[in-house]
Amino acid sequence: MLLELRDLHTVIGRHHILQGVSFGVPRGEVTVLLGRNGAGKSTTLRSIMGLSPVVRGEVRFEGEAIQFLPTHVIARKGIGYVPEDMGLFGDLTVEENLKLAMGKEDPPAAERLAWILGLFSDLKMYWRRKSGDLSGGQKQMLSIARAFVQNRSLLLIDEPSKGLSPIMVGKMVEGIREIKERTTILLVEQNFSMARAVGDRFVILDGGRCVHSGPMEELKRDKELQRRFLGIA
């Protein structure tokens, strides 16, 4: 396992939000985190990044416990995070956002940038446009591209399909399928058609607990599980 969560508890204010989340993310695969609104999916990603306060349990990345490290140290260990609000610098152009992420322009970073621009080619058309002026789908592509050029071995992506048109969702599916050839991904996704198109494994959260997990093929077959936890008839 590249990442392992063991009995993770997160408390925000007086709210005990994660109440013992345990699952593993195998290297080289896409694991999709599913569940109803408020199930704890975003909080799980934030807890992994050290942005929500973990009070008990462990997050192990490449075998090392990281749950009490500060966020910037966790990022440097090789975990990239694309939050729901995408965290872009709206006043900076597409180019500036990506160059900032690259740090120094060494050949591997330049190669990653060229590769991701080939994949999300829209970004080249808007190269000098401020990222704040992009559409939702373009912003989403930019924020994923930015995390990718940083060469993380694990990407956490929160709802990349949110608010996107079906065409954009299709592009996102293609993009994530290509990126997964190079990087392990843990994805929060409410859109089940996207989840099933890109996911190798699934984890369902409910009420801050992990209630089911397994190969995506299993969930595709299990209509009852889909109905109970995903609201799909």
Question: Rule CB under 6 A: is residue 138 a binding residue for ligand ATP?
Answer: no
Closest residue by Cα to residue 74 from 9, 6, 156, 130: 156
**Residue choice 5, 23, 31, 41 for contact with ligand ATP (CB under 6 A):** 41
**SS3 letters across 53-115:** CEEEEEEEECCEECCCCCHHHHHHCCEEEECCCCCCCCCCEHHHHHHHHHCCCCHHHHHHHHH
Contact status, residue 70 vs residue 34, Cβ threshold 8 Å: no
Question: Rule CB under 6 A: is residue 15 a binding residue for ligand ATP?
Answer: yes
* Count of residues in the chain: 233
Window contacting ligand ATP (CB under 6 A); options: 40-48, 64-72, 100-108, 219-227: 40-48
By CB under 6 A, what part of segment 186-215 binds ligand ATP?
190
DSSP state of 129: S
Question: Rule CB under 6 A: is residue 38 a binding residue for ligand ATP?
Answer: yes
DSSP state of 208: T
**Residue choice 21, 35, 154, 201 for contact with ligand ATP (CB under 6 A):** 35
- How many residues touch ligand ATP under the rule CB under 6 A: the total is 13
Window contacting ligand ATP (CB under 6 A); options: 11-19, 53-61, 94-102, 131-139: 11-19
**Residue choice 8, 17, 185, 194 for contact with ligand ATP (CB under 6 A):** 17
**Residue choice 3, 21, 42, 226 for contact with ligand ATP (CB under 6 A):** 42
Q: Rounded to the nearest 10 degrees, what angle do helices 166-179 and 136-149 cross at?
A: 10
- Name the minimum Å distance from CB 143 to ligand ATP: 17
Show the DSSP H helices in the chain as ranges.
41-48, 71-76, 94-102, 107-119, 122-125, 136-149, 166-179, 192-198, 216-221, 223-230
Question: Rule CB under 6 A: is residue 50 a binding residue for ligand ATP?
Answer: no
**Residue choice 5, 30, 39, 134 for contact with ligand ATP (CB under 6 A):** 39
Q: Where along the sequence are the contacts to ligand ATP (CB under 6 A)?
A: 12-13, 15, 17, 35, 37-43, 190
